[in-house]
């Protein structure tokens, strides 16, 4: 079992910037034009004091960068889940922070042109993404050239920064709906993690959760199996939430009654398949789903699903497990990568129980997605 530990990152090794500092590098090009455009209609101004001036930022912030940081901390921001994790990752390296700003710029573009049929990659977002790519390439070359002669602690620091930067690019590819780029960046992230002797073990918790979150969101959109196992922190929270759900005897009894009815119907229909994997997930889903209602009831008036965006971590674990289930029947997402398999395993040749199990797995993902991506 992986054991997260404190990250040996020393912020004094690189110049840090206050939020009121900026330099000329980030004033030119598309930034100037975007500063002259009207802000989107959101519930509060993007520059309404949401930039924490006490933080040490890895790059100087000009007006546009401040507005993007402010946008990140508004209720309208779409990547709010695990924000404390991935924003902390961004603060630890220039390339990673540029990736954070690139993703924020993509969301800003969505706010300004929600019905636009044009590419989701806005000029501003591409500008920051290019900076992130350039700095990541430089950092990677520096890391590869450093060799074993450099202190182990320093090489580890650089490698963790690279993992954080590429995590931001995996998120970018998902936000920009680029399946090809998502595959490329996810593979790059995997290769970087393999460079660590301990792999995922011992990653600082905020980075470990970021790695799994950026992969999971893209894996869900494409219905592919995750490469990275569940973080220990997610599993622990999942078990805690499950115990909380079971502590309500009435909710537990009602849930088990529903599951029991489905189990009996399944066994009567498919006597040779008594314990399907999807039914184990369904049992947990029935137990945990009422927690959303309970948390909504305890939230402040009018906050609604907004209050829950950081709460249902258990959905991460359920979605990961559902995506990881064996799927004898090729799905649309897999046929392109395994066309021969797709030809050989047409749905007409599938056992009825296999087809039904796949339908139930997809139904659970469709049920969870609105809560998870709220």
The answer on pLDDT for 14 being more than 60 is no
List Cα–Cα distances, 45 to 57, 102, 109, in angstroms.
22, 20, 16
The answer on pLDDT for 253 being more than 50 is yes
Lowest mean pLDDT among 65-74, 75-84, 275-284, 346-355: 346-355
The predicted structure's pLDDT at residue 177: 82
The answer on pLDDT for 346 being more than 80 is no
- How far is it, in rounded angstroms, from Cα 283 to Cα 369? 17
User: Could you tell me which residues come within 8 angstroms of residue 372 by beta carbon, excluding any fewer than 6 positions away?
Assistant: 81, 220, 312, 315, 316, 319
Banded model confidence at residue 148, pLDDT cuts 50, 70, 90:
low
The predicted structure's pLDDT at residue 295: 64
pTM here? 0.78
Give tens-digit pLDDT for 114-147: 655 455 568 899 999 999 999 999 999 999 887 7
Task: Report yes or no: 219 and 323 within 8 Å, Cβ to Cβ.
Answer: yes
Q: What is the mean pLDDT of residues 222-237?
A: 94
| Helices vs strands, H then E, count in the chain | 15, 0
Q: What is the mean pLDDT of residues 273-291?
A: 90
């Amino acid at each position: 079992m992986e054991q997260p530990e404190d990250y040996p990152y020393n912020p004094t090794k690189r110049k840090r910037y206050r939020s009121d500092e900026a330099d000329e590098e980030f004033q030119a090009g598309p930034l100037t034009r975007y500063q002259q455009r009207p802000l989107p209609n959101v519930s509060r101004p993007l520059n309404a004091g949401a930039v924490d001036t006490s933080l040490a930022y890895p790059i100087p912030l000009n007006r546009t960068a401040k507005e993007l940081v402010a946008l990140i901390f508004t209720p309208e921001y779409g990547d709010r889940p695990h924000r404390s994790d991935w924003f902390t990752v961004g603060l630890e390296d220039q390339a990673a922070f540029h990736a954070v700003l690139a993703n924020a710029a993509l969301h800003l573009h969505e706010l300004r042109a929600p019905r636009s049929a044009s590419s989701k990659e806005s000029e501003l977002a591409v500008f920051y993404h290019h900076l992130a790519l350039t700095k990541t390439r430089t950092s990677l070359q520096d890391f590869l050239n450093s060799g074993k002669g450099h202190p182990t602690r320093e090489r580890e620091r650089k490698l963790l920064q690279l993992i954080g930067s590429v995590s931001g690019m995996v998120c970018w590819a998902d936000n920009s709906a680029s399946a090809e780029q998502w595959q490329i960046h996810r593979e790059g992230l995997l290769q970087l993690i393999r460079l660590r002797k301990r792999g995922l073990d011992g990653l600082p918790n905020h980075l470990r959760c970021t790695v799994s979150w950026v992969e999971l969101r893209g894996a869900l959109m494409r219905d592919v199996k995750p490469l990275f196992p569940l973080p220990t922190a997610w599993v622990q929270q999942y078990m805690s939430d499950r115990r909380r759900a079971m502590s309500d005897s009435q909710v537990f009894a009602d849930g088990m009654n529903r599951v029991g009815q489905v189990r009996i119907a399944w066994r009567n229909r498919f006597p040779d398949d008594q314990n399907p994997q999807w039914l184990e997930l369904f049992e947990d889903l029935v137990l945990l789903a009422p927690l959303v209602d309970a948390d909504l009831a305890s939230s402040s008036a009018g906050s609604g699903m907004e209050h829950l965006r950081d709460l249902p971590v258990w959905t991460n674990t359920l979605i990961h497990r559902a995506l990881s289930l064996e799927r004898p029947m090729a799905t649309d997402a897999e046929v392109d990568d395994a066309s021969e398999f797709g030809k050989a395993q047409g749905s007409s040749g599938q056992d009825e129980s296999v087809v039904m199990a796949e339908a139930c797995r997809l139904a659970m993902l469709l049920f969870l997605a609105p809560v998870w991506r709220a």
